[in-house]
Amino acid sequence: MKLVSVGTVAFDAIETPFGKTDKIVGGACTYISLSASYFNDNPKLISVVGDDFPKETIDLFHSKNIDTEGLQIKEGEKTFFWSGKYHQDMNSRDTIDTQLNVLETFDPIVPESYFDCDILMLGNLTPAVQLNVIKQLPRRPKLIALDTMDFWMQIALDDLLAVIKEIDVLTINDEEARLLSGEFSLKKAANKILTMGPTYLIIKKGEHGALLFDKNNNVFSAPALLLEEVFDPTGAGDTFAGGFMGYLSSQDEITWESMKKAIIVGSAMASFTVEKFGIERIKGLNKEEIDNRINQFKEMTSF
Amino acid sequence: MKLVSVGTVAFDAIETPFGKTDKIVGGACTYISLSASYFNDNPKLISVVGDDFPKETIDLFHSKNIDTEGLQIKEGEKTFFWSGKYHQDMNSRDTIDTQLNVLETFDPIVPESYFDCDILMLGNLTPAVQLNVIKQLPRRPKLIALDTMDFWMQIALDDLLAVIKEIDVLTINDEEARLLSGEFSLKKAANKILTMGPTYLIIKKGEHGALLFDKNNNVFSAPALLLEEVFDPTGAGDTFAGGFMGYLSSQDEITWESMKKAIIVGSAMASFTVEKFGIERIKGLNKEEIDNRINQFKEMTSF
């Protein structure tokens, strides 16, 4: 199935307890597309960068057969930049600097060649921009997934609720699920969020794994892999989403069974990303190491 | 296999966001024995109470075929009492009152009829008392499990390390694993703790489930059941331990496979305890509801 992803392609500067980076390539759509490329033979990307964005990364996208027709390159402008520092527990971080640059006026344009998209992944962005992408598609995709964050719940809740109404899968973390629903119990939170539009809800719990809920009261729990070190969590959630959507796009049908397997695939892909800074680990994986990682999840959970 | 459990039989007074209780029956060994009684036909208990302890609860033990020969009843003395209040998130609590009473001078005596014990569960107690029980047994049990807490790591670390050396299974929570090992990563923490004596380590993560580690680098992850409400978490860890050890005692052999299943059984039993105050839920279960609960775990994790 044809997969289109929308989100940032950006620069990050990251500090963790294990070290710090200069400006490196990051962005939700970078992680999503790279991760999906291991399961989809031509993932399509929609984003925007400035003319300071490295040609090598665009070449990397092409080497993974990622379609960049939807990537706008703004002459004379600068790429979105985020800088942050993680705390010891790696579950929380402080933003040190945000330079929106090209993102400030980002108006995504869906190329005609993307119109027959079956699966649409809306990475974390202004909810109005996410809705704008859905509206440009002449035929509704079979599956629309959306990632968002607490920030939009606080400053653009109405817009967020409007786009959530139009989607099939929502991915948020546990604190965001509590914020969006006003419920502390994740089970109650899930039940409430599933009345807002989506058929499926994924709650990401970082080192504690992820939960998948549907409207039929089904629940699936995936662990996170236990790594000796989480070196840099940046992009883990987006890599998860890319593996998840990439795997689904490789299936004939979207069912509860394929959704569960997709959660495991996404978790396996995310476990690579956190092993090194940025896209270092995710950019050059092979099928065997991915299969081994997925098997580790199988061993960790089967009884 | 014959199962002996040591620990407190006590009174609790509990306040949660959902309500509060007067003095009700609690204590680690109460939960362990009741939980184990669904899998073992004659679990044996070692503990101490005062003469204020209700005969009905001792009758309840007998109705579950729990052997109370090892329960000392001290005339003219009072039963151990603990009172606490849980915070909104139910993961943390404040102790309001602790009255050691009979526990202050507790000197457990292992009855001769317990000497052929195959499986020994040492509930959370002073490490020196736990070691004392092991030493009274003329033949080492096949499996010794020990539960402890941060308090003993802080005030009696040497004693704790001495008893940990003698056991096969250690059960602690994630913060305690970090405290005991000095490692933040749970994988590193587990590796370090497994050099201290035990063959298996169980890390309890409350609403995030439990992890089982062994010395061969195997890891198993069990989720917690997603309940609409956790009404009262008191005794959840002990109920887990009781289900875990009870299930193991019903098996012919202790293997990695039986340990994994035992973790699921323990998790299922704990999920009952938290649904009501105290032992209310755990005291009258039937086989069918236990089997259904175990199946829910199967559905939640199989892909």
pLDDT of residue A120: 98
Q: Do residue B187 and residue A227 have CB atoms under 8 angstroms apart?
A: yes
Q: Assess whether pLDDT exceeds 90 at residue A89.
A: no
- What share of chain B has pLDDT > 70, as a percent? 100
* Interface confidence (ipTM) of the complex: 0.89
Q: CA-to-CA distance for B217 and B201, rounded, in angstroms? A: 11
B221 touches chain A (CB under 8 A): yes
pLDDT of residue B43: 98
pLDDT of residue A91: 75
Which residue of chain A comes nearest to B294, CA vs CA?
Answer: A303
pLDDT of residue B294: 97
Nearest CA of chain B to the CA of A251: how many Å? 15
B219 touches chain A (CB under 8 A): yes
Q: Are A263 and A236 in contact (CB under 8 A)?
A: no
Q: Assess whether pLDDT exceeds 80 at residue B32.
A: yes
Query: Between chain A and chain B, how many beta carbons pairs sit less than 8 Å apart?
Result: 82
Which tokens go with A177?
A: 């699920």
Which residue of chain B comes nearest to A224, CA vs CA?
Answer: B221
Question: How does residue A215 score in pLDDT terms, banded at 50, 70 and 90?
Answer: very high
Q: CA-to-CA distance for A137 and A70, rounded, in angstroms? A: 13
Q: Name the residue type at position B148.
A: T
Q: Which domains does chain B have, with CATH numbers?
A: 3-301 (3.40.1190.20)
Mean pLDDT across B52-73: 98
Listed in sequence order, the residues at least 6 apart from B26 whose beta carbon sits closer than 8 Å to its beta carbon are: B8, B10, B11, B12, B14, B82, B234, B235, B278, B279
pLDDT of residue B222: 96
Mean pLDDT across B25-49: 98
Of A185, A257, A301, the CB nearest to B228: A185
Count of beta carbons in the 10 Å neighbourhood of residue A104: 9
Listed in sequence order, the residues at least 6 apart from A55 whose beta carbon sits closer than 8 Å to its beta carbon are: none
Q: CA-to-CA distance for A204 and A290, rounded, in angstroms? A: 20
Nearest CA of chain B to the CA of A291: how many Å? 15
Q: Are B70 and B111 in contact (CB under 8 A)?
A: yes
A91 touches chain B (CB under 8 A): no
Q: What are phi and psi of B204, to 5 degrees?
A: -90, 130
pLDDT of residue B168: 98
Q: Assess whether pLDDT exceeds 90 at residue A92.
A: no
Which among A156, A197, A195, A192 is positioned nearest to A177, based on CA atoms?
Answer: A192
pLDDT of residue B155: 97
B88 touches chain A (CB under 8 A): yes
Of B184, B187, B260, the CB nearest to A88: B184
Helix (H, G, I), strand (E, B) or coil at A193: helix
Summarised one tens digit per residue, pLDDT across range A63-86 is 999 999 999 999 999 999 999 999
HEC sequence for B113-137: HHCCCCEEEECCCCHHHHHHHHHHC
- B15 beta partners: B20, B85
